[in-house]
């Protein structure tokens, strides 16, 4: 029942925003909204490893870029069919390529998921700061590889000519927005399902005490690999449509600092124990950044994120969700009956014990 309500609400909210933006009739709203949605996916993905398992990933940009560049590679493949494939195959490939965006997202997810699995296998014996440094190193290694890979443009970057419009919806940006909207619902639903499952409890024990988790029969290594794979795959899925959105992709923008910083800051500011946290954090920071880009300058974006992060770490280390939770616990516990606050708490899976 609660799950049904959750899906209903998320679909309604998404549809309402989409229709509202169409009603306003300004494509910039879709353009800005896409970025916010993309950060919802990234923040939620980061939180699966960082928030639930307690492993801080500084290499989000690498997973994001891996998804983006898998799309670029497939796009280039489609553009150069006659040169790359023998004649016998060219006809067949012409039928398959270019791939539609949803397929690209799946492929980007697989590529980044495999990278996540590999990274996890190599680095998860490391703990704390050492794991964080290893993920940072991964981003550097991957960026170097891409810079030296001529097929996807190397350091010059790659132009992606996207179609101007699309049947039914009209403008292509609306289509991309819709795709990202669906993706963010999928990401949040994934996080929510994990949180309520056996897997979520397992992740929490890894965050709290790995030795005790092992003693309780939790296969910690396997669970950590599952977490890196899911987290990496979702980040790659967020990156896959990006070249079509931006039109021109170069390594320094795909591996930009903004992705790594935002995907950490958003869950931290929102709160890391529940799927609500990254959502709230991404909406808040994403919208502030979009507004700042229009009114001040895009250069202040990272400054805003940095200041907010410092502020929250000092004032509310548990994030917005933590603040709300403390407020609700204080009010909801003194009567035995469920109140709207405790119902909301249950809906958002803010267990009484959660940090």
Partner 1 sequence: MASPLLEVDNLGKRFGGFVALDGINLSVTQGERVGLIGPNGSGKSTLVNCMCGTLQNESGTVRFDGHVVDGLAAHQRTHRGMARSFQLPRPFTTLTVSENIRIPLLYTANTRRGAHLSLAEITARCEELTGLVGLAAKADKLPRDLTQVEMRKLELARAMAAEPKLLIADEAMAGLSQSEVADIVALLIKLNERGITIILIEHIMRAVMSFSQRLVVLVSGKKIADGPPNDVVNNPEVIGAYLGQ
Contact footprint for partner 1 (CB under 8 A) = 198, 201-202, 204-205, 207-209, 211-221, 273, 351-355
Closer to partner 1 by CB, 214 or 250: give it.
214
Closer to partner 1 by CB, 59 or 271: give it.
271
Q: Closest distance between partner 1 and the C-beta of residue 208, in Å?
A: 4
Instruction: Name the residue among 250, 210, 236 with its Cα closest to residue 59.
Output: 236
Q: Closest distance between partner 1 and the C-beta of residue 254, in Å?
A: 35
Closer to partner 1 by CB, 205 or 262: give it.
205
β-strands 158-159, 170-171: how paired?
A: unpaired
Closer to partner 1 by CB, 122 or 215: give it.
215
Q: Closest distance between partner 1 and the C-beta of residue 221, in Å?
A: 8
Say how many C-beta atoms besides its own lie within 10 A of residue 290's C-beta. Answer: 20
How far is 36 from 105, CA to CA, in rounded Å?
Answer: 18
Closer to partner 1 by CB, 165 or 209: give it.
209
User: What residues form DSSP beta bridges with 170?
Assistant: 166
Q: Please answer whether residues 263 and 77 qualify as being in contact, where contact means their C-beta atoms are separated by less than 8 angstroms.
A: no
Q: How many CA atoms lie within 13 A of 270 on its CB side?
A: 29
C-alpha 335, offset from chain centre: 39
Q: Closest distance between partner 1 and the C-beta of residue 265, in Å?
A: 21
Closer to partner 1 by CB, 2 or 156: give it.
2
Q: Closest distance between partner 1 and the C-beta of residue 322, in Å?
A: 12
Q: Closest distance between partner 1 and the C-beta of residue 266, in Å?
A: 21
Sign (positive or negative) of CA dihedral 324, 329, 335, 341: positive
How far is 48 from 279, CA to CA, in rounded Å?
Answer: 13
- In the block, residue with structure tokens 């899906």: 7
């Amino acid at each position: 029942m609660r799950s049904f309500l959750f899906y209903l609400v998320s679909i309604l909210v998404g549809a309402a925003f989409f229709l509202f933006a169409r009603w306003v009739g300004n494509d910039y709203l879709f353009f800005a909204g896409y970025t916010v949605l993309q950060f919802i996916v990234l923040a939620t993905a980061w939180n699966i490893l960082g928030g639930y398992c307690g492993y801080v990933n500084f290499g989000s940009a690498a997973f994001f870029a891996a998804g983006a560049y898998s799309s670029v590679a497939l796009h280039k493949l489609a553009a150069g069919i006659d040169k790359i494939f023998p004649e016998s195959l060219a006809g067949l490939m012409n039928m398959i390529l270019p791939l539609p965006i949803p397929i690209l997202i799946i492929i980007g997810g697989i590529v980044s998921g495999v990278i996540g699995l590999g990274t996890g296998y190599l680095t998860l014996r490391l703990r704390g700061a050492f794991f964080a440094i290893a993920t940072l190193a991964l981003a550097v290694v991957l960026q170097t590889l891409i810079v030296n890979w001529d097929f996807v443009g190397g350091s010059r970057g790659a132009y992606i000519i996207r179609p101007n419009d699309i049947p039914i919806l009209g403008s292509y940006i609306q289509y991309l927005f819709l795709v990202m909207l669906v993706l963010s619902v999928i990401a949040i639903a994934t996080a929510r399902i994990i949180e309520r499952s056996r897997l979520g409890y397992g992740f929490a024990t890894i965050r709290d005490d790995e030795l005790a988790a092992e003693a309780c029969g939790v296969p910690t290594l396997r669970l950590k690999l599952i977490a890196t794979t899911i987290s990496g795959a979702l980040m790659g899925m967020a990156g896959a449509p990006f070249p079509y959105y931006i039109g021109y992709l170069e390594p320094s923008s795909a591996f930009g600092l903004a992705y790594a910083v935002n995907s950490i800051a958003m869950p931290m500011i929102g709160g890391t124990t529940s799927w609500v946290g990254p959502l709230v954090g991404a909406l808040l920071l994403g919208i502030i950044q979009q507004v700042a880009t229009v009114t001040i300058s895009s250069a202040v974006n990272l400054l805003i994120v940095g200041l907010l992060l410092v502020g929250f770490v000092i004032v509310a280390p548990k994030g917005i969700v933590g603040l709300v939770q403390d407020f609700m616990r204080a009010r909801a516990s003194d009567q035995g009956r469920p109140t709207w606050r405790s119902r909301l708490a249950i809906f958002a899976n803010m267990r009484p014990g959660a940090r």
